[in-house]
Structure 1
Amino acid sequence: MHSNRSIAYQTYQQNQINTASQGKLLLMLYDGALKFLRLSMRSLEEKNFEKTNEYLKKTQDIIRELMATIDFEAGEIAQNLYSLYEFMDRELVQANIKKDMERIKNIQQMMQDLRITWAQVI
């Protein structure tokens, strides 16, 4: 029974993604990144470095997806956003290597600020 609920939930989530607008998809990516950043901080506090690594890599995957969606026709703003995502990605690599909570918190704040900004625009 549990697996049926799990399958139903996964189907629901996939339908949400398939029918979402570009803006909604962007917010979903930010939400996912923020979730994994929270989980990485919790696992780092618990000294569960394997989980920390897993969650930071998932966050990086989302950042790379955000980078792939940038429309460079938008000019300087697009390039600046790409550079910001590159910075965030590099910082997460360093945070993962050094188990650096402050770096993770800084990226979380930046990601939260971006999400708030995009939510206002959409």
Structure 2
Amino acid sequence: MFSPNRSRAASAYQRINVETSMHTMDQHQLVHLLYQGVLDAVTAARGAIARNDVALKCNSIAKAMRIIEEGLATALDRENGGEIARNLSDLYEYCLGRLVQANMHNDDAMLEEVAHIIGPIAQGWSEMKNPGAATPAPDGAPQAGHAVTTEG
């Protein structure tokens, strides 16, 4: 009997909590969360396709697209970002097209492709803030942040 009001109250509390968190986090952390949101939404869409859950698939793909369009793409500094901003913009446009196609054709491979494109960018973005957290280099290769010297 009271669940609709409790549900609305919980939803309102959650929105306020998210909005408050967004105002206190730095830009780097916010972009990290956007990338993670895209990857989570794509994962949810892939699972929905496997279960034949059309509504969840559509909602998850729409969420991924919204994050890319309204979050990641609008955050690009097109004036000062140079080639990196142009390349990311092109990459985001490509991913948006693949998401539309994946939605139309229930194509898991296209969703997997988007995840394989966004995943390394998200990982690289995370590692920029914590360079020591980078994955170890193969044997014999210099690790990030370590100078390479030659004797002679």
Residue correspondences, number:
122
Give the unaligned 5+ runs of structure 1.
Answer: none
The equivalent of 2:143 in structure 1 is: none
Unaligned runs of 5+ residues in structure 2 are 1-5, 130-152
| Selected match of 1:14 from 15, 19, 23 | 19
Cα distance, 1:75 vs structure 2: 0.5
Q: Residue 3 of structure 1: CA displacement?
A: 4.9
Confirm whether residue 40 of structure 1 aligns to residue 45 of structure 2: yes
- Give the superposed CA RMSD: 1.4
Are 1:68 and 2:45 matched, yes or no? no
Residue 53 in 1 paired to residue 58 in 2?
Answer: yes
Q: Percent identity?
A: 25
Relative contact order, CA 8 A, sep 6+: which one is greater?
A: 1
TM-score by length of 2: 0.74
In 2, the alpha carbon distance for the partners of 1:6 and 1:119 equals 29
Structure 2: how far apart are the matches of 1:28 and 1:40?
A: 18
Q: Confirm whether residue 121 of structure 1 aligns to residue 128 of structure 2.
A: yes
Q: 1:83 aligns with which of 90, 106, 115?
A: 90
Corresponding letter in the other structure for 2:116: Q
Whole-Å separation in 2 of the counterparts to 1:54 and 1:8: 23
The letter for the 1-side match of 2:20 is N
Higher helix proportion (structure 1 or 2):
1
Deviation digits for residues 25-60 of structure 1, max 9, x if unmatched?
Answer: 101111111111111111111111122111101100
Between 92-101 and 9-18, the greater mean CA deviation after superposition: 9-18
